Structure formats: structure tokens, C-alpha cells
């Protein structure tokens, strides 16, 4: 596994040279509709640095084999690469041991795994599962399915017009009937950073375990699962400059050991007879079948890359982008910002009077500006604001103020085009 290129290393003061960082992302060099690509859809997926692409290619050209099962050299090399990536994840999250790091396809599978194993063990008729009103569908539907199966109730913590959770309501809704709390760390739709430390503390005071959806948080924040004391934390590699189809579920060992397997198959067993199956140790009990080995290797390379740039440098740069975009986009006549929480990640959602978000996104694309439009898999959140959709610009370490200026210029052109 190669280390990140020198251009990714931040200075000793932990400032970020964004022009040098951009050189590490080949896709950013292209033109779209004759314009430089302005990629502002990072909340949906992030672009990949060359070191991640190289790591994946190197695995397939040098180490490709199945893991854990072969005594030949290629299998041994593949196993080392795969388990090395798991150790990188453990370090990145500060998990207690690698047995607490489960490779899954992404956040969605991680949440479903917990709901269908841990949830089925804990939740019964009349019990409650507590989520927030700003959840992604991936952290709503699995719990709805569980509640429907068990005769339980899904309760929802409301949020303010600014997009901040009503913590007074969270405490009120946290009752002896609450068996699981499942809350998003950072909202993908409006960028709110939720007070997850307080959420975990208050839930644990009442003996309630907490799952955090970390899909959006991983690329913006430094995550320490032991400091958070959460019971489960799920995230997706493709939102952390890694490959699609790979993600991680962190779980406290005490819970993972008590949970039944999520799927049956190869590698999740110790022994099998037609009368009985004995399951493998952690983390393999939850990794049935051939895993996405190259994806794990790519995710490990992405984590190396982020560590080389530095969390502090990334957060400082993105805070500047967020402040600038909020001022620039919010000052355009007829533009209304949606979600103005005091603590936000680098996400700006907005609507333009007289222009449907989908039409807006189509017009911006003609100027090379890629944003996301729609309900962002957060239809209950959109209903809270009385909107069918918003336009969303989301930023990453490689974005610049110049790109925000390009977004503003494209928005102004779109408003003129639609007479708005």
C-alpha cells in the first residue's frame, strides 16, 4: 500500500493548499459543456484521489485472490491487504479492537444489519424506537420495518426552523419504552451537526443504546467512537473519497457478540453440519461470503489520504467555504437558504423563487456546475419545510471560493433565464 503523495500533506500549521490538493483528483481536470467542472455534489458522493485509484488497481493487478481461505501467496497477500484496511479503520475511529469493525456495503446495510439483529432482540410489542425528523430514508425505513414486524412504535424528535434538534423533546420522548435511539450525526439535506455527545449521554443514562448514522460526518469531522461512547456507528466509503460498495459498521463488542448473524454463508462459520452451525468469531460472524476486498483496500487508502491532509486542515478549509457560500448564495435576491443551524457541515441547501430545483440543476449543469436537486432521500424533512425539493451545494476539501463564485454566476444566469 503506497502512502499519499507529497502534494496531499498539509503544512505544519495545518493549513490546506487546495490547489495542490486538487492535483490529486484526476476527475477535476475535465471540462463539462466547455466549462471547468465545478463539482458541488459531495454529500451524494465524493471524488477519488489518485492514491485510492492506484491502490485498487494495484490490488487487482498484484494481489487479487480470495481472503482467509488459501495457503498460496496471493491469498496471503490479499488477506494482509484486507485486514490491514480493517486496522486502518479501527485507528481512524479509535475503536477498541478490530473485532468491532464490520465491513458492509455502506451505511444503509450497516443500519439494516443492526435493525434486523440487535433490533429484533431488543424491540417487542409496545416498545419504541426513537429517530429524528431529519433522518435519511436509510435510517427510517429499516426501523419502520422492524416496528411493523414487532408491533412497536417509531417516535420522531422534531427540529426547529433553523434545522436544530429539539433536545427538550428528545428528553421527553426518551421513555422506559424506548429500546433503541438511531440518529444522524450530520444531516445530508441541510448540513446540521447534531449534538450526538449529549444524545448518547442522555440515552445511556436511561439504559438505551444508540446508533449514529455517520455517512455525512466522516469526511467533515474527526470521529472517535470511544469518546462519543456510541453503541453503533455506520458510514460509507464513497463519501470519504473511497470506493462505492464498501462501508463500515462499528459496534461495541458486547453487543456484537450477543447479536445473531445477519446473513449465512461462507467465512461466517466455524463449523457446519446439517444439524447445527457454529459461528465464526468477530468480526467475521457478520461478513458472509467473499467480501469487497478491493473496496476495503481502497477505503484504507482513502483514510491514509485524509490523515495525510489532516482533519484540522480540512475542517478549517470547509468552514471557510461554508461561511463564504452562505453569504454569497444567501445574498442573491429570491434565494432562500434552508437549514441555518449554528453548527453545520459544508452543505448549503436553498430554493429559488419561481424556479423548480430540478430545472435549476439542469440549467446549472450547462455551465459545468454539478449540484444535487430533489428531496435528498429525506422526504419527511422536506415535508417539515413544506417543500417538495431543494437545491443543494455540498463542499469537500478540493472545492474553492472560485467555484462558489461560479455557482453564484450560474444561479444569477438561471434566474434571468426563468425571469425569476
DSSP 131: E
Contact assessment for residue 99 and residue 281, using Cβ atoms and an 8 Å cutoff: yes
CA 260 to chain centroid, in Å, comes to: 25
Catalytic residues: 377
The 3-state DSSP class for residue 292 equals coil
Q: CA-CA distances (angstroms) from residue 180 to 156, 207, 236?
A: 12, 10, 22
- Beta strand 178-184 with 210-213 is parallel
- Beta strand 153-157 with 128-132 is parallel
Nearest to 85 by CA among 251, 301, 238: 301
- Output the DSSP codes for 337-371: EE---SSB-SEEEEEETTB-HHHHHHHHHTTTEE-
| Residues comprising the chain, all counted | 420
How many Cα atoms sit within 13 Å of 332 on the Cβ side?
Answer: 26
Give me 326's grid cell. Answer: 452562505
Distance CA 190, CA 199 (A): 19
Contact assessment for residue 129 and residue 143, using Cβ atoms and an 8 Å cutoff: yes
Contact assessment for residue 30 and residue 359, using Cβ atoms and an 8 Å cutoff: no
Consecutive H or E run containing 112: helix 107-114
The 3-state DSSP class for residue 194 equals coil
Q: CA-CA distances (angstroms) from residue 146 to 122, 125, 139, 263?
A: 11, 11, 12, 17
The C-alpha angle with vertex 327 and arms to 9 and 15, in degrees rounded to 5, equals 15
Distance CA 238, CA 403 (A): 22
Amino acid at each position: 500500500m503506497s502512502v499519499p503523495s507529497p502534494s496531499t500533506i498539509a503544512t505544519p500549521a495545518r493549513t490546506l493548499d487546495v490547489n495542490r490538493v486538487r492535483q490529486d483528483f484526476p476527475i477535476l481536470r475535465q471540462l463539462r459543456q466547455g466549462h471547468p467542472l465545478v463539482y458541488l455534489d459531495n454529500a451524494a458522493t465524493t471524488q477519488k484521489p489518485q492514491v485510492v485509484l492506484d491502490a485498487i488497481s494495484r490490488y487487482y493487478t498484484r494481489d487479487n485472490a480470495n481472503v482467509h481461505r488459501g495457503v498460496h501467496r496471493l491469498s496471503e497477500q490479499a488477506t494482509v491487504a484486507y485486514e490491514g484496511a480493517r486496522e486502518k479503520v479501527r485507528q481512524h475511529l479509535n475503536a477498541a479492537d478490530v473485532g468491532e469493525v464490520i465491513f458492509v456495503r455502506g451505511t444503509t446495510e450497516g443500519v439494516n444489519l443492526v435493525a434486523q439483529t440487535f433490533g429484533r432482540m431488543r424491540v417487542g410489542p409496545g416498545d419504541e424506537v426513537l429517530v429524528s425528523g431529519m433522518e435519511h430514508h436509510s435510517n427510517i425505513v429499516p426501523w419502520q420495518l422492524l416496528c411493523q414486524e414487532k408491533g412497536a412504535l417509531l417516535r420522531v424528535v422534531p427540529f426547529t426552523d433553523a434545522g436544530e434538534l429539539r433536545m427538550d423533546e428528545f428528553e421527553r420522548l426518551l421513555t422506559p419504552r424506548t429500546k433503541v435511539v438511531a440518529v444522524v450525526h450530520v444531516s445530508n439535506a441541510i448540513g446540521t451537526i447534531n449534538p450526538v455527545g449529549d444524545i448518547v449521554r442522555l440515552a445511556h443514562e436511561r439504559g438505551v443504546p444508540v446508533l449514529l448514522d455517520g455517512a455525512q460526518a466522516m469526511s467533515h469531522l474527526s470521529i472517535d467512537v470511544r469518546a462519543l461512547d456510541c453503541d453503533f456507528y455506520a458510514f460509507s466509503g464513497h463519501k470519504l473519497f473511497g470506493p462505492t460498495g464498501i462501508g463500515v459498521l462499528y459496534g461495541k463488542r458486547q453487543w456484537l457478540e450477543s447479536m445473531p448473524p445477519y446473513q449465512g454463508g461462507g467465512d461466517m462459520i466455524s463449523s457446519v453440519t446439517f444439524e447445527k452451525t457454529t459461528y465464526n468469531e468477530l468480526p467475521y460472524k457478520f461478513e458472509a461470503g467473499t467480501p469487497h476486498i478491493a473496496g476495503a483496500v481502497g477505503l484504507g487508502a482513502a483514510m491514509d489520504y485524509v490523515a495525510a491532509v489532516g482533519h484540522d486542515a480540512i475542517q478549517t478549509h470547509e468552514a471557510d467555504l461554508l461561511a463564504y457560500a452562505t453569504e454569497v448564495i444567501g445574498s442573491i435576491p429570491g434565494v432562500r437558504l434552508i437549514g441555518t443551524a449554528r453548527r453545520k457541515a459544508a452543505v448549503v441547501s436553498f430554493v429559488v423563487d419561481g424556479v423548480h430545483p430540478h430545472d435549476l440543476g439542469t440549467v446549472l449543469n450547462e455551465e459545468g456546475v454539478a449540484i444535487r436537486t430533489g428531496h435528498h432521500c429525506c422526504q419527511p424533512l422536506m415535508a417539515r419545510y413544506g417543500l417538495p425539493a431543494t437545491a443543494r451545494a455540498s463542499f469537500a476539501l478540493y472545492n474553492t471560493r472560485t467555484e462558489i463564485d461560479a455557482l453564484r454566476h450560474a444561479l444569477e444566469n438561471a434566474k434571468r433565464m426563468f425571469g425569476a
